[in-house]
């Protein structure tokens, strides 16, 4: 079931899973960018929240975007995952894998930068990005982030210099 509030804009094309197991509640003055995929079990966007273009929100968990929060383009929110119980990562026997369904809450005024990934785990099935927190582009978040925190991935560094062979 999909509910869309007043003055909200959904730029097309957007894919939203719409069946009796998925609920999408979009508040007023919200925006969803084109080429976005929404497949979370429950998605709640509160007033003024925004999802940029080409964002993926997938999995059987819950995602809440508090007032005026932003998920920038090409980011991925994963509120559920499957975990294998085998000895190795490629042990994919169905009888030894478990589903972990959790939740991701993006706090009021929080900002998730481009190409960032927020993913729950067995250890942290419920992740909260605190109010006004900023998650830098290309970050990977699998834990709670405190309010007003600024998170960024490791700084870039020079590995080595290229050798010129042409004269």
User: 28-86, pLDDT tens digit by residue?
Assistant: 999 999 999 999 999 999 999 999 999 999 988 999 999 999 999 999 999 998 776 66
φ/ψ of residue 94, rounded to 5: -55, -40
* Domains identified in the chain, total number: 1
In a domain, 157, yes or no: no
Cα–Cα distance, 79 to 53 (Å, whole number): 19
Residues 6+ apart with CB under 8 A from 74: 52, 53, 54, 55, 114, 115
In the predicted structure, residue 93 carries a pLDDT above the cut 70 = no
In a domain, 39, yes or no: yes
The DSSP call for residue 162 is: P
In a domain, 99, yes or no: yes
The string of pLDDT tens digits covering residues 44-55 is 999 999 999 999
In a domain, 162, yes or no: no
In a domain, 161, yes or no: no
- In percent, the amount of the chain with pLDDT more than 90 equals 72
Q: CB of 18 within 8 A of CB of 41?
A: no
What are the beta bridge partners of residue 114?
Answer: none
Q: What is the domain range of residue 133?
A: 2-151
In the predicted structure, residue 2 carries a pLDDT above the cut 60 = yes
Q: CB of 87 within 8 A of CB of 67?
A: no
| pLDDT at residue 91, rounded to an integer | 59
| pLDDT at residue 85, rounded to an integer | 65
In a domain, 18, yes or no: yes
Q: State the CATH number of the domain containing residue 88.
A: 2.160.10.10
Element (H, E) at 62: strand 62-65
């Amino acid at each position: 079931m999909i509910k869309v509030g007043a003055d909200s804009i959904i730029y097309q094309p957007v894919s939203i899973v719409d069946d009796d197991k998925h609920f999408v509640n979009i508040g007023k003055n919200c925006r969803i960018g084109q080429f976005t995929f929404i497949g979370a079990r429950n998605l709640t966007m509160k007033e003024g929240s925004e999802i940029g273009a080409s964002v993926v929100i997938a999995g059987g968990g819950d995602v809440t975007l508090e007032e005026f929060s932003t998920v920038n383009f090409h980011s991925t929110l994963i509120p559920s995952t499957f975990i294998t119980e085998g000895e190795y990562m490629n042990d994919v026997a169905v009888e030894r894998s478990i589903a972990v369904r959790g939740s991701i809450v993006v706090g009021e005024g929080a900002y998730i930068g481009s190409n960032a990934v927020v993913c729950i785990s067995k250890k942290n099935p419920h992740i909260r990005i605190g109010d006004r927190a900023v998650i830098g582009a290309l970050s990977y978040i699998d834990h709670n982030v405190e309010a007003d925190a600024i998170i960024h991935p490791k700084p870039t560094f020079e590995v080595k210099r290229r050798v010129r062979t042409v004269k």
